[in-house]
Amino acid sequence: MLDFAMPPLCLACSKPVGSPGSLCVQCWQGLDFISPPYCQRLGTPFEADLGEGLISLKAIAEPPVFGRARAVARFDGTARELVHRLKYSDRLDLAGAMGSWMVRAGAEVLIEGSVLVPIPLYRTRLWRRRFNQSGELAKVIGRAKVLEVDHQALRKVKATPSQTGLNARQRKENLAGAFKVRDEAQGRIAGRRVVLVDDVMTTGATLNAAARVLLRAGASEVDAMVFALVAERV
């Protein structure tokens, strides 16, 4: 009934659009898709095409704990709005569209035999928000790529204050010891190729902290798939 009563609305700005689960022209143009060339480790785009297989200076200076990260878009404009709506506005319907873009952008890391592990929330935050946005994105990706999703592998054991306004070093300290691989998950993770799933990568501190405990638990490889990443224009 609702479908007949209401025109489909743009996922990011709620203006009427032609088909459900889509963006209006303006918001589509405001989605800063990441395409090659990008850093093979961090997935951050290069402005100039200097050849294939390049690694950014940032990844050389501070190699990430995870192997490779891939993202759909830069975290600005429409991408920022979508992330915000998914997280704070009870807009679980957004996960479908965002997850399907992640499937397309993540072909290199979303490979057969991988297990998807969403970045968990601390329990009080989960109660307040009622769902974990990373878990919802992982479900969509898992269905599309026929990959197992392990929602229980990681536990956030430390309530970390908001990362907003913290620099890279502070974020790293904030996240130290924040994640644990659950005892009962150790056997499932050992020897497995893991892809961490999160909505945004800022400095990579969260993904590094999670990758560290998964590798310690015996994961053979840990890559990361995010919807958006913060990247300077270089």
Q: Which residues bind Zn ion (CB under 5 A)?
A: 10, 12-13, 24, 27
Return the axis-axis angle of helices 77-88 and 94-105, rounded to nearest 10°.
130
Q: How far is the CB of 104 from Zn ion (least distance, A)?
A: 20
Would you say 80 or 156 has its CB closer to Zn ion? Answer: 80
Task: Please tell me whether the peptide bond between 64 and the residue prior to it is cis, using omega within 30 degrees of 0.
Answer: no
Residues paired with residue 117 on neighbouring β-strands, in sequence order = 196
Q: How far is the CB of 16 from Zn ion (least distance, A)?
A: 10
In contact, 208 and 178? CB cutoff 8 Å: no
Q: Identify which of 138, 134, 137, 139 has the alpha carbon closest to the alpha carbon of residue 95.
A: 137
Q: How far is the CB of 6 from Zn ion (least distance, A)?
A: 16
Would you say 76 or 221 has its CB closer to Zn ion? Answer: 76
Q: Is 82 exposed, middle or buried (0-12, 13-18, 19+ CB in 10 A)?
A: buried
Would you say 13 or 54 has its CB closer to Zn ion? Answer: 13
Would you say 27 or 117 has its CB closer to Zn ion? Answer: 27
Q: How far is the CB of 14 from Zn ion (least distance, A)?
A: 7
Count of CB atoms within 10 A of residue 186's CB? 13
